[in-house]
């Protein structure tokens, strides 16, 4: 699936093989992110919580995991750590509305602030794809 090359007048890097898992307990957020990722031309799967995400990661490989920070049962930090243990090559991004208030030592993973801009999402996915191909 090939996505549009321009969104709101901005040129975006688009398309290519990349598998992304979106983890968020808010169904609207995860469905919206999945749709945007698919529009950008990438494959996207969803999980509603950390344990479900880890079950999926154990069964199939992903190039990128984007996980919400504040979720019941398991935080985004816990999801990120476990994903990296299971698949060290997977790039993990923490998605949060608290991005500016996180302590520097908590930023072991790249933090995306909600709402994430389409241009930013396109750029990080294009970079992840380039890193995977290189």
pLDDT of residue 63: 96
Asked if 57 and 74 touch (Cβ cutoff 8 Å), the reply is: no
Rounded to an integer, the average pLDDT of 3-30 is 70
Domain holding 71, by residue range, is 16-133
In a domain, 3, yes or no: no
> CA 40, 44, 48 angle in degrees (round to 5)?
130
Q: Does the N-terminal peptide bond of residue 101 adopt cis geometry, omega within 30 degrees of 0?
A: no
The two most distant CA atoms of the chain are separated, in Å, by 40
Res. 126: pLDDT tops 70: yes
Cα–Cα dist 51/100, whole Å: 27
Is residue 70, in this structure, part of any structural domain at all? Answer: yes
Confidence class of residue 4 from pLDDT cuts 50, 70 and 90?
very low
Residue 20 has φ and ψ, to the nearest 5°, of -125, 135
The CATH code of the domain that includes 61 is: 3.40.50.2300
Residue 131 is predicted with a pLDDT of 86
pTM: 0.84
DSSP, collapsed to helix, strand or coil, labels residue 88 as coil
Counting the structural domains of the chain, the total is: 1
Does residue 79 belong to any structural domain of this protein?
yes
Task: Give the pLDDT score at 99.
Answer: 59
The Cα 55–Cα 47 span in angstroms is 9
Q: Give per-residue pLDDT as tens, 41-96.
A: 999 999 999 999 999 999 999 999 999 999 999 999 999 999 999 999 999 999 98
Residue 46 lies in a domain: yes
Residue 101: its pLDDT value, please?
57
């Amino acid at each position: 699936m090939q996505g549009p090359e321009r969104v709101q007048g901005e040129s975006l890097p688009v398309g290519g093989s990349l598998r992304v898992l979106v983890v968020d307990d808010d169904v609207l957020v995860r469905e919206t992110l999945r749709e945007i990722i698919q529009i950008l031309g990438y494959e996207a799967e969803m999980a509603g919580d950390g344990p479900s995400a880890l079950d999926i990661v154990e069964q199939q490989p992903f190039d990128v995991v984007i996980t919400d920070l504040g979720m019941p049962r398991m935080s985004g930090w816990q999801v990120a750590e476990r994903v990296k243990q299971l698949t060290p090559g997977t790039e993990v991004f923490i998605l949060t509305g608290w991005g500016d208030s996180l302590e520097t030592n908590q930023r072991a993973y790249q933090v995306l602030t909600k709402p994430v801009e389409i241009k930013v999402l396109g750029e990080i996915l294009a970079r992840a794809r380039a890193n995977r191909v290189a």
